[in-house]
Amino acid sequence: MPHPSLSEADVRSIDRSDMAGKIAAWPRQVEEQRQALAGQPWPRMPRPSLLAVGGMGGSAIAADLLFALAADRLPFPTLVCREDRWPAAVGPGALALLSSYSGDTAETLALYDEAGRRGAGRVVLSTGGALGRRADLDGVARRSLPGGLPPRAALGYSVVSLALLLEALGDPGEGDTAWNEAVSVLDDLAARCAPGRPEAGNPAKTLARELVGRAVSVVGTAGPAAAIARRWKGQLHENAKTLAFDAVLPEMNHNEIVGYQALRDLHPRLALVFLDGLAGTPAVRARMDVTRAIVEEAGVATHVVAPEGRSTLARVLSLVVLGDWTSLYLAVLAGVDPTPIEKIDRLKAALASAGGGGPAGVNPETSPR
């Protein structure tokens, strides 16, 4: 079957739940949440011995991004927990942020309860749900997210919320100039990636056309680009319904690169996307160039995407949002509505039917992230 033309009509007919509109709203999410938290800021808190974020999927990726952005500034260690039990370091003196968009995520509810039993401090980020009710009952500081979105489409709200929590803990933050620039860059990107813009001159449509029909590995460098690669992978999974992977340089050069050898018959169905422009050192940048050449010699298609903007914040968010747009157009090329996540829904229903209620007895059928 020939792939659609990616005209605006094609996009609208397949993107029935308007994921395009949700991605285009990224700049407004940033502005709205900064304004909301200016009116109801996080409480000032003592510096924790550890800041631990508990969440799953789209509710956890903000922590990956912000912790990487602030790594050279934060005087305390951080971790992200994507399961239903904390590591031993989470206890008295630590602060746990429980992040669940729905407020009903089974694993995050279990982490909330366990953090309380261990004597760790707690704060909550959610639209409400059981997590919001528990926080309100326990007098735990909670900040709200606007409802009605798939969790993966609310990342702008979550990124701002966590950034301002870090500032409440003493981080000098990115600064108003960087945030204003980021909004401007994302507005411009939304205009150039919009469904009404033709493929020529539309960077997301162009890249999606090059990637269609292939499993994609997104390659970043240590730091923010590693978190961006993870976000791309998740968006390619959930929006485009296609297999995707993430890799990080220089670690990839010590193992994964050897894998592009034995299964050469698969190589025409693979593609690597390298996230350029955020490499920490010239040596890492050189590794990217050499890695790309070696993989291409093995018959694997490669593509390079670069960030936009001057500030690190704008450059990071521009790459994040380019991945969102690319995943949307890959979904259109595959003929699938990007919003539904039928296999996740099926998994939750099967677990509920089997009595596998999840951590803390929470029914996974009613536990979106």
* 267 burial type by CB count under 10 A (0-12 exposed, 13-18 middle, 19+ buried): middle
Helices (H) and strands (E) in the chain, counts: 13, 9
Cα gap 192→188, rounded to integer Å: 6
Residue 155 to residue 275: CA distance in whole angstroms: 19
The residue to which tokens 């010699």 are assigned: 297
Q: Decide: 259 and 193 in contact? Cβ < 8 Å.
A: no
CA distances from 136 to 35, 122, 133, 277, 288 (A): 22, 12, 5, 43, 48
Helix (H) or strand (E) holding 183: helix 176-193
Place of tokens 């309860």: 113
Other Cβ atoms within 10 Å of 220 Cβ, number? 28
Spatial separation of the C-alpha atoms in residues 345 and 361, rounded to whole Å: 18
The strand pairing partners of 99, in sequence order, are 125
DSSP for 76-132, written as a single string: S-EEEE-SSS--TT-STTEEEEEEESSS--HHHHHHHHHHHHHT-EEEEEESSHHHH
| Max CA pair span of the chain | 60
d(CA 254, CA 98): 35
Structure-block tokens of residue 169: 């803990």
For the annotated catalytic residues, the residue numbers are 238, 254, 348
What are residue 263's phi and psi, to 5 degrees? -105, 55
Omega of the bond prior to 364 within 30 degrees of 0, cis? no
State the Cα–Cα distance between residues 311 and 151, nearest whole angstrom: 26
Cα separation, 48 vs 67, whole angstroms: 15
